[in-house]
A = this chain, B = another copy of it.
Amino acid sequence: MIILVDMDNTLADFDAAFLSLWQKTYPDEFFIPLDKRRGFHLAEDYPDHLLDKIQKICDGKNFVKNLPPISGGIEAVRELLDAGHDVRFCSSHFREYKNCITEKYQWIEKHFGKEAVDRIIMTRDKTLVRGDLLIDDKPKISGLATPTWEHILYDRPHNRQITDKRRLAWDNWRDIIFA
């Protein structure tokens, strides 16, 4: 199987890293606890007057590079690769792409080794990428084409209202992928 795996909030804990840095940078500022996140983008949950500050944190140097892995994800991908599946890391750049793109490549190299960098596919439209499965926390993935993949939702607090897709976390992935 070709298994496309999203990076932010699926393999890399973007939300946790943001919140940690947010509270460190602005200790007295409003924040939303991780389990109360409801929108896919932070901008959907935080008030407008904070969005510039939020953006600055997420676009900052070394933010993406240092994202902590979500527990179990690295091991799951390694196991899928060892079992002969073709995993591709399928990610989208941020609008302010200067730091994030290279750092996404560095993140994959750091956690999976130099060769795995060739498994990265950077695209804003994941429907144009062929695969059997796409594991992604984004509730709705649309684009130019009708996808060849089944979208398996990576379980996050912000997407718990979605009920029309299979849902996976890195502690139950074998049951879901091989169901």
Contacts and interface: CB of A to CB of B under 8 A. Distances in A.
B121 A120 contact: no
Contact of A101 (B86, B101, B119): B101
Main DSSP-derived SS at the A contact region: mixed
A154 interface: no
A69 interface: no
A75 interface: no
A62 interface: no
Of A98, A120, A128, A148, the most chain B CB neighbours within 10 A belong to: A128
Contacts of A98: 102
Interface of A: 2, 86, 88, 93, 97-98, 101-102, 105, 117-125, 128-131, 144-145, 148
Given A2-B145, A98-B102, 19 more contacts: A2-B144, A86-B144, A88-B128, A93-B105, A93-B120, A97-B102, A102-B102, A118-B124, A118-B125, A120-B122, A120-B123, A120-B124, A121-B121, A121-B123, A121-B125, A121-B129, A122-B122, A128-B129, A128-B130
